[in-house]
Amino acid sequence: MSTAISASGADKSATETSAQYLTFMLAGEEYGVDILRVQEIKGWDKVTRIPHTPDYVLGVINLRGAVVPILDLRRRFGLEAIDFGPTTVVIVMRVGSGRDERTVGVVVDAVSEVYNVEAADTKPPPDVCGSIDTVFVKALATLEEKMLILLDIDRLIANSITDEPVPGVAAA
């Protein structure tokens, strides 16, 4: 299977102190995910709905023969839903590892940049963090006076799919 970016979960080969992040926009905020997780970025397309799932599970798509679920991050974080526009994209990622490894797409408002983030530029998230469940935030990074929200994507996706309650977090 050809992939745009080969994303191998275990590979943390970027140097100890810095890592590359792909960032995307969601309701005016900029979020980052570990670029090694990202498999490809594709346009929004029709999905097949799955019954008995939360509203942020939009459905499944056919990704070159694999059935891949698509999650709406806006709805996942309890943000106001908007109509999908021309910049709306699906970021397809490989998350988890071993038996729990999954390919999952998330819908975001737009992709932004790829940044090299130094460990020194990151801060742990404060207890209260605006519109997002802080347990899914790995760190906050400051870059050119901008704040990036670095997501713990493994945890976010696993939690979104299994629907397990996360201690200390009210339902989104």
Partner 1 sequence: MTLDLEMAEIAKVFFQESREGLDVMESGLLTLGAGADAESINTIFRAAHSIKGGSATFGFAEVAGFTHGVETLLDEMRNGVRPVTAEAIQILLQSCDCLREMIAATEAELPLDQGRIASLNSDIAHILGERPQAAPAPVAPAAAPPAAPPDATAEAGGTPSSGAQGWLITFEPVADLLRLRNEPTRMFTELARLGAVVARADTSRVPLLDALDPESCYLSWNLEVSGPISRAKIEEIFDWVESQWRAEPMSVEKSSAVAQPHLGPAPEARPVSAERGPAPAAPTAQKAADSGSIRVATEKLDNIINLVGELLITQSMLCGFADGIDPNELDRLRQGLSQLARNTRELQESVMQIRMLPISFAFNRFPRIVHDLSRKLNKKVELKLTGENTELDKTVLEKISDPLVHLVRNALDHGLETPDRRSASGKHETGSIELGAFHEGGNIIIEVRDDGAGLNKAKILQKARERGLVAPDQDLTDEQIDNLIFMPGFSTADQVSDVSGRGVGMDVVRRNINDLGGHVQISSKEGQGSTIRIRLPLTLAILDGQLVRVGKEIYIISLLAIVETIQVSKDRLNTLVGRTEVFRLRDEYLPVVRLCDQFGVEPDSRRAEDGLLVVIEADGKRAGVLVDDLLAQQQVVIKSLESNFKPVVAIAGATILGDGTVALIIDVPDLIRSVRKLGSGAVTAHAA
Rule CB under 8 A: which residues touch partner 1?
A: 46-53, 59-62, 64-69, 102-104, 161-162
Give the residue with the Cβ less far from partner 1, 13 or 162.
Answer: 162
Minimum separation from the CB atom of position 122 to partner 1 (A): 30
Minimum separation from the CB atom of position 103 to partner 1 (A): 5
Give the residue with the Cβ less far from partner 1, 38 or 161.
Answer: 161
Give the residue with the Cβ less far from partner 1, 84 or 102.
Answer: 102
Q: Which helix (H) or strand (E) holds 66?
A: strand 66-72
Minimum separation from the CB atom of position 31 to partner 1 (A): 22
Give the residue with the Cβ less far from partner 1, 27 or 54.
Answer: 54
Give the residue with the Cβ less far from partner 1, 92 or 117.
Answer: 92
Minimum separation from the CB atom of position 144 to partner 1 (A): 36
Minimum separation from the CB atom of position 92 to partner 1 (A): 10
Which among 76, 33, 59, 73 has a CA at the least distance from the CA of 163? 76
d(CA 12, CA 75): 30
Residues paired with residue 21 on neighbouring β-strands, in sequence order: 34, 115
The helix/strand count (H/E) of the chain reads as 2, 11
Which among 13, 11, 23 has a CA at the least distance from the CA of 143? 23
SS3 108: strand
| Beta-carbon count within 10 A of 142 CB | 12
